[in-house]
Amino acid sequence: MTSRPLDLSPEHTAFVIHREAKLAMIDLVLAAARFDTMITGCLVLGFGMSLDQGSILLENFDVSTKVLKLKKLCLHSGESRRAQRLGKLKKALERHSHARNTIAHATCAGTHKLDPSFLIFSPARAFVGRPSEMELVAIPLDVIRSDTRFYHRSAQRAARIYDFLVARRG
């Protein structure tokens, strides 16, 4: 995630996570969850399902797949402009999902000693071809905050689609 090389060895990790970093991570995960929930609601409405039917069908779909399904539904319904915007959203989602996925699925080891704006994560993946070494990932707080803004904006857009579907349903 970083464009400049950081030495991610354990001796360069401060095994402390400051309050500001914790709040930034929580904000990102909550914003992404709200977006996911709004997209799920759009699919449930768009396909005319009840909430319980929709939750059974969609429970294991990742949000990218849900956006793709919503795009296909819009194309099928003749909403080509909305489908095009959903296609762009799906591409943007691919760029903005790494930090959220890392936070949700990897251990945050702490901050980098030389640049505390970087959080160090251990996703419990081995380096291929480097026995006895595990992968470490550095994510800047600025990226976490930027991705949070993306998810907030995307949830607002999904809410507008939801409102459109509610109005169309009558």
Whether 98 maps to a domain, the answer reads yes
Number of domains forming the structure of the chain: 1
Q: What is the pLDDT of residue 1?
A: 46
Domain assignment of residue 2, yes or no: no
Question: What's the domain range around 86?
Answer: 10-169
Position 128 scores a pLDDT of 73
* 121 part of a folded domain: yes
d(CA 100, CA 64) in angstroms, rounded, equals 13
Residue numbers of the chain with a pLDDT score lower than 50:
1-4
Compute the distance between CA of residue 103 and CA of residue 92 in angstroms, rounded to an integer: 18
DSSP string across 30-72 = HHHHHHHHHHHHHHHHHTT--HHHHHHHHTT--HHHHHHHHHH
Let me know if residue 3 belongs to a domain: no
